[in-house]
Chain A
Amino acid sequence: MRSDPADYELVAPDNLQAVVSLLAEDPGAWLPIAGGTDLMVLYAAGRLPGRKLVSIWNLPELRRIEVAAEEIQIGAGCTYSELREHDVISREFPLLARAAGWTGAIANQNRGTLGGNIVNASPAADSLPALLVYEAELILVSVRGERRVPCLNFHTAYKKTKLAADELIQAICLPRRFSGYYSYTRKVGARNAQAISKVCVAALARCRAGVIEDVRIAAGSVAPVPLRLLVTERIVRGKVIQPGLLRSARKAAAEEIAPIDDIRSTAKYRAAVAGNLVAEFLEELSLAGSPHE
């Protein structure tokens, strides 16, 4: 343990208003901590970037999951376990439920939160590819009120987001219109559990008579930010799935992504596997045939 607890302040207001007021008092001074599965690791390694923390663990305003007709609002403080166990999420947003199930292992799923995953802004964040293809929107809250932003382009650069210094993510909104879509997701890590992703792809598509009517593809760990493969989507949208299309999609994906060599893997491996996953998705899509209910 390479940090001294005596050097750190941690406060735990019991409501969201008190938290956002504190953040506004001194923007950037207080680091919000939810389940701690990212920040406490940095803390133990002596690398926490601040000395004042405000706990947002267990704030009731952040733990609600509200199911409305058109969308579901997931409180940013919901844990991965809560996502996995939620009926609507597992039925209508299986990519998110699966991502929650391969983040860390059970103990970390019981503490890690969806908001924390988004704000930690790792390009390897497990939930992001799913959130991107589901076209999630984020409700951000501060003393100035709420604003709603798309998850797309919320991550602006490596480990940077559009979150203002005094803002928190309050909820993640997912539109309930993907039930008819074929869904695909696969995470490639160094082992089957407790692994940071080397490559991750999530995809949704709706087909009719072998033609891709609509498609969304996103990838993690292949760029400084989690990435929607918009160019690749454009290439395959409206097309018939056949070997030539797989080649074009693979080529487009290879050009859209920008993987690196790092401690976990190599750029070439990541690029090849990302291409394989995109191609595997299209292949499965063609075998699946008509729309799924």
Chain B
Amino acid sequence: MGTIDFAPLWITLKTGIVASVFSFFIGIAFAELVINTKGRVRAFWDGLLTLPMVLPPTVAGYILLRIFSTRRPFGSFLSNSMGIQVVHTWLGCVVAATIIALPLMYRNARAAFEQIDENVIYAARTLGISEWKVFWKIRLPMAKPGIISGVTLAFARAIGEYGATSMLAGNIAGKTSTISQQIAMVIQSGDYATAGFWCIVIIAISFACLVSINMICGKSKGIKRKRKNNVAHSKNKKTVG
């Protein structure tokens, strides 16, 4: 096994954190967009945003490579005009992990927003509370448990990303070599001990994430219970008025 270089751990954690921050904002923004659209447009966006969850990561990686390659219009624009290189850089890790983790964030956020009793939002509007405040002070706090589990799942997914990352960012030691890529590499050279060590690290982090989701959601029971009430009430409403 020899001495272990911990660079892959830091790269993985950094990638995971930045990717979950990105998917947090992008996921919420798209959740809002989809909630406010109807019919075919809604189905289109929902399908597109969920696609990375079901596609083979290599397919996502291929598409990202085609978009960000410096030989293609968008990639060359980024690199020439803005000095941003995505392919074979750490940024590539982040982009790949964000895209793959996004559906988890988006779907959780959407479900959390959709569960909010619409009367609460109507009440807020009739009280003259601005849309900005309605979002930040009422809807977001009410959707908090769902959003937290979305971010945590997105983080857990992002740190385990392999397929798209290896295609877009490659496996450059100390730069883009994440734990999952490291595992694949050391196994090829027959170093099962090191591979096993990294596997345990990944399992430990992912498991900790899943356990913490449960604990956080347990704590905010109050909000969850309240929501169930609201659902019951809104059902009442339909039958009564």
Do A and B belong to a common assembly? no
B-to-A contact residues, CB < 8 Å: none
A-to-B contact residues, CB < 8 Å: none
